[in-house]
Structure 1
Amino acid sequence: MDGNMSHHIFLLFNFILKSIRYPRGHQWKNKSLNYMKYEAMAEKYTSEELQNITLVFEVEGGLLRSTSLFPYFMLVAFEGGGVLRGLVLFLFYPLVCLLSKETGLNIMVFICFFGIKKDNFIIGRTVLPKFFMEELGYEGFELVMRCGRKVGFSELPMVMVEGFLKDYLSVDCVVGRELKVVCGYFVGLMETRMPLSRSSFLMNDVFGERKGDSRIIEFGCSNNILDRHISSFCKELYMVSEAEKRKWRSLPKDKYPKPLIFHDGRIVVIPTYLTTLTMIMWIPFGIWLSILRIIVLISFPYTMSIPILSYTGMRGRVYIQNNDFKSGKDDKLYVCNHRTLLDPIYISLAVMKPVTAVTYSVSPLSEFLSPIKTSHLSRNKEHDSKMMKTLLSHGDLVVCPEGTTCREPYVLRFSPLFAEISNQIVPVALDAKVSMFYGTTASGLKFLDPLFFSMNPIGIYHIIVLEKLSSAITRGKSRIEIANMVQRQIADALGFQCTNLTRRDKYMILAGNEGVV
């Protein structure tokens, strides 16, 4: 065959391939001329100019330090479907890695979502935001947040990412994969294309008059090119390579665009494949260890249970600022912040004497196994006030005025009821550190809380007994002022922040109810 003819055939074949890959109307040729590294964007535009830019970015490629999707699907499988579903995903993941990216994604979606009721799926706004925030790359986050309007693309289903991107990053529009629903239940299948309604929304309401405007730019990872239809409206393309992303720093908590105060779920650290393997190997041993710890706590006196628990990994660190807290004939009212259900028990261990705890929504099983006396609050102020005075006349009493637990370094608003019970108020600051499982839940089974806390390989309680409030300090102050003062003292001792959020706020965010039992 003639050389010139071969050359012409090659050019024709190459033209056909390009026509198939980049349809007419797609301005890829112009974009390739404007292909730049992501650092050039901050150098090219001023802060004022960036506010007039619409940025189309990839969530996995432009925000998260790792592009692995397994941890987020594991969270959905474990928190939404239970241990068995998480185990199935773990066993299938090696097969997922051998298949194409799209096929592997479909398999993970099917395992995680099949049979889950759509109305009950709240993990996308209660569990996943914490882990997305921890995986944000500081460099990518800073670049995205400087732009005026933001459109986020994700390979994950919409129900997993939309809540996080809109609530925490104020993204104007999120484009993800829609899940098919039959009779109100997910069937584990994704729509193959973006719905026309969402595409129309993007074109008209997000881009609007900016179609074809050079102020619409695109930011992502070189291995994940965005949707061609949307990309055709972007005039500049900024890319970050995998090698560059590995150098990204994690976003410091003080840089979070919105404080992360409430979140749910049992898993503490992001469940990568190796972390999940560690948890699967630990759980059988951890269950027996948890039962042993509970038996020791219930059956043995303090002098024996404390060293045994410490030897098994359940440790307490006590700091006494109140030198005379053991002296005096009057029974003391210990007022503490609320970290887990075991707060009153650890206070009892710290002061080395039995105490009584007032509770609200404690399961009958937890109450039965409790090594200390408990009494239920009715949420009737007059009744609860009389009951607490009676209990205090028979011994030391522990009260958690927050009314619910908080995992993060914040102290919720204190109910002022305790301030009219006694003038022997001893503030106690508590902090609980866990390594694998949280011992609290808002939407899960509460009777499992002590079990999950005790299943941790290491669990550490920090207990700071503060100075007793003297009558000179509280004289002339209202009960609300006293409650706010105690809240501030506890927060300062721990280095936490005070908030005006309450039990009702927490349950409205995490469970969709007011937390009334």
Structure 2
Amino acid sequence: MGITMFATIEKCTSEGREKDTVVANLDGTLLRSRSSFPYFALVAFDLCGVLRLLFLLLASPLAGILYYFISESAGIQVLIFATFAGMKVSDIESAARSVLPKFYSEDLHPESWRVFSSCGTRCVLTANPRIMVEPFLKDYLGVDMVLGTEIEIYKGRATGFVRSPGVLVGKKKADALRKAYGEIQPEIGLGDSDSDIPFMTLCKECYWILSKPKVKAVTTNKLNKPIIFHDGRLVQRPTPLMALIIIFWIPFGFLLACVRLSTMSLLPMHLQYYAFWVIGIRLTIKGIPPPPIMKSGVLFVCCHRTLCDAVFLSAALGRSITAVTYSLSRFSEIIAPIKTVRLTRERASDTSIIKQLLKEGDLTIFPEGTTSREPYLLRFSSLFAELTDEIVPVAMVNKMSMFHGTTARGWKWMDMFFFFMNPRPTYEITFLNKLSHEFTCKSGKSSHEVANYIQKVIAEALSYECTTFTRKDKYMALAGNDGTVVKNP
């Protein structure tokens, strides 16, 4: 019906729209995918684990039958109940800020975004819970108003039901638009299904988005700001098929992770490189690893990908290397096959600790202060730079196909399990040239200049970008107070 009523989005001009108001649906319109299941699944798994994901997957056939044959509203209500019932509202808000934006941004429809981004005032009408989609839409797409389904809340937890007027579909979208804009008629309406027609006809111009799931998504550099910090365990969008694979894999994957962690903890370090290949872990070494020196230890300065960085560095060197860290769970300390030393965050005390450790042998330090997944490096602490001139920068990158081995909001002690639960986890370690005398503090460089230089050479080796963000900035961003992204020139 909509195809014959309205022109397609390709026929809509985006020039001279700065003063226009655009109103768009989300799934199938702004996003390429018409299914919201993957986003519900991300929230279900990240906040409640595999059992909630299983519950959602079992409920999805009922949701599909209701949606396509009886009532769109009833089908979406089933997904909302299966996902949110009993969840803390604060946890849902946190996941909406830190987990979903990356996946939403990778699903943005190029033609819809071309028109949507050209307009001065932007509104989104969606059947999805507003609490789930609003952070992405406002922070990254510059949306002025989000009209979505409101969930019922009792004592800080979602009940799984929705508030009046119910799930926002069909005529209810049109009613919400009238309530928001009154007699003002928006210039452009964008939709993709018959249930969007009631609100589209309230707009001066209406454009239809045809289903083209294979169209390339908008590149993230066209968003209002880059998505640097995000969280969540899943690497891929959990479609129903992918969700089923994850559910069946987790019991086997957990046992496999236990075997891998036991091997890592019990075998001598010089055998671990070969053992990794036997148990399905790939370790690639580039550059020339430096031999141990007699007078003092070498300080390996590394970017920080996961809690396993120091172990893989030791395996690549064939000898155990002490690692300093600001925080480490008691469980991680127990199973770690290398010596780990906690720093105090007091510069004088930490300087003394590092100097003593360097007298005893080689040492690993992670000046970013926290793990990061993105193709960016956080600002390096300058603490280490003035303590020795035997500094070797090390660039690290890891690859995971199913689970991320880092988290900011979840149980940190589970990070190593999730990393080793991947079918074929991969680490690539690149040893860069030892700092020449002219780039050390002994040549007159300040500790900040040395730290910035090392950050730069590691970023270049990985084709990453440097940022001025710190560890503190990262956690502020994940908490929803991220300010403005500023990159080093």
Q: Give the TM-score taking structure 1 as reference length.
A: 0.86
Q: Deviations 1:261-306 (Å, cap 9, x if unpaired)?
A: 1101111100001111111111111111101111111111234322
1: distance between equivalents of 2:481 and 2:332? Answer: 23
Match of 1:376 among 342, 345, 355: 342
Q: Deviations 1:449-503 (Å, cap 9, x if unpaired)?
A: 1111010001111111111112222211100111111100100000000001111
In structure 1, the partner of 2:87 is 116
Question: One-letter code of the match for 1:375?
Answer: V
2: distance between equivalents of 1:403 and 1:247? Answer: 39
Question: One-letter code of the match for 2:111?
Answer: E
Match of 1:307 among 274, 280, 292: 274
2: distance between equivalents of 1:326 and 1:201? Answer: 69
Identity percentage over the alignment?
42
Contact 2:47/2:91 (<8 A) preserved? no
In structure 1, the partner of 2:107 is 135
In structure 2, the partner of 1:489 is 457
In structure 2, the partner of 1:280 is 247
Larger mean Cα displacement after TM superposition, 380-389 or 344-353: 344-353
Is the alpha carbon distance of 1:442 and 1:488 closer, same or farther for their aligned partners in structure 2, counting shifts above 3 Å? same
Contact 1:134/1:250 (<8 A) preserved? yes
Give yes or no for the alignment of 1:500 onto 2:473.
Answer: no
In structure 2, the partner of 1:250 is 217
Q: Deviations 1:221-263 (Å, cap 9, x if unpaired)?
A: 034415x4x5454111100122xx2342122344344211110
Give yes or no for the alignment of 1:240 onto 2:212.
Answer: no
Question: One-letter code of the match for 1:175?
Answer: L
Matches within 5 A, 1:71-90: 71-90=38-57
Question: One-letter code of the match for 2:60?
Answer: Y
Is the alpha carbon distance of 1:427 and 1:236 closer, same or farther for their aligned partners in structure 2, counting shifts above 3 Å? same
Match of 1:218 among 186, 189, 196: 189
Give yes or no for the alignment of 1:159 onto 2:112.
Answer: no
Q: Which runs of 5+ in 1 are unaligned?
A: 1-30
Shift of the alpha carbon at 1:38? 0.8
**Residue 196 of structure 2: SS of its match in structure 1?**
coil
Question: One-letter code of the match for 1:240?
Answer: I
Shift of the alpha carbon at 1:190? 1.1
Larger mean Cα displacement after TM superposition, 217-226 or 280-289: 217-226
Shift of the alpha carbon at 1:123? 0.8
Give yes or no for the alignment of 1:415 onto 2:394.
Answer: no
1: distance between equivalents of 2:188 and 2:166? Answer: 20
In structure 2, the partner of 1:180 is 152
**Residue 191 of structure 2: SS of its match in structure 1?**
strand
Larger mean Cα displacement after TM superposition, 442-451 or 463-472: 463-472
Matches within 5 A, 1:452-491: 452-474=418-440, 475-491=443-459
Shift of the alpha carbon at 1:115? 1.2
1: distance between equivalents of 2:338 and 2:215? Answer: 49
Contact 2:292/2:362 (<8 A) preserved? no
Q: Give the TM-score taking structure 2 as reference length.
A: 0.91
Matches within 5 A, 1:259-338: 259-320=226-287, 324-326=290-292, 329-338=295-304
In structure 2, the partner of 1:59 is 26
Contact 1:427/1:486 (<8 A) preserved? yes
Contact 1:326/1:351 (<8 A) preserved? no
Shift of the alpha carbon at 1:202? 6.3
Question: One-letter code of the match for 1:241?
Answer: L
Question: One-letter code of the match for 2:33?
Answer: S
Is the alpha carbon distance of 1:351 and 1:104 closer, same or farther for their aligned partners in structure 2, counting shifts above 3 Å? same
2: distance between equivalents of 1:108 and 1:310? Answer: 42
Question: One-letter code of the match for 2:267?
Answer: F
Contact 1:221/1:241 (<8 A) preserved? yes
In structure 1, the partner of 2:485 is none
Is the alpha carbon distance of 1:195 and 1:269 closer, same or farther for their aligned partners in structure 2, counting shifts above 3 Å? closer
1: distance between equivalents of 2:464 and 2:194? Answer: 41
2: distance between equivalents of 1:488 and 1:140? Answer: 37
2: distance between equivalents of 1:413 and 1:336? Answer: 12
Contact 1:357/1:373 (<8 A) preserved? yes
Is the alpha carbon distance of 1:98 and 1:487 closer, same or farther for their aligned partners in structure 2, counting shifts above 3 Å? same
**Residue 416 of structure 1: SS of its match in structure 2?**
coil
Match of 1:444 among 393, 410, 421: 410
Is the alpha carbon distance of 1:421 and 1:112 closer, same or farther for their aligned partners in structure 2, counting shifts above 3 Å? same
Contact 2:272/2:315 (<8 A) preserved? no
Is the alpha carbon distance of 1:84 and 1:502 closer, same or farther for their aligned partners in structure 2, counting shifts above 3 Å? same
Shift of the alpha carbon at 1:174? 0.7
**Residue 228 of structure 2: SS of its match in structure 1?**
coil
Larger mean Cα displacement after TM superposition, 147-156 or 438-447: 147-156
In structure 1, the partner of 2:351 is 385
Shift of the alpha carbon at 1:97? 1.6
Is the alpha carbon distance of 1:256 and 1:329 closer, same or farther for their aligned partners in structure 2, counting shifts above 3 Å? farther
Q: Tell me which structure has the larger Cα radius of gyration.
A: 1
1: distance between equivalents of 2:153 and 2:231? Answer: 25
Shift of the alpha carbon at 1:377? 0.9
Is the alpha carbon distance of 1:258 and 1:512 closer, same or farther for their aligned partners in structure 2, counting shifts above 3 Å? closer
Contact 1:216/1:233 (<8 A) preserved? no
1: distance between equivalents of 2:414 and 2:74? Answer: 36
Give yes or no for the alignment of 1:99 onto 2:66.
Answer: yes
Contact 1:81/1:112 (<8 A) preserved? no
Q: Deviations 1:96-122 (Å, cap 9, x if unpaired)?
A: 222233212111111211111223321
**Residue 243 of structure 2: SS of its match in structure 1?**
helix
2: distance between equivalents of 1:413 and 1:407? Answer: 14
**Residue 99 of structure 1: SS of its match in structure 2?**
helix
2: distance between equivalents of 1:284 and 1:203? Answer: 50
Q: Which runs of 5+ in 2 are unaligned?
A: 483-489
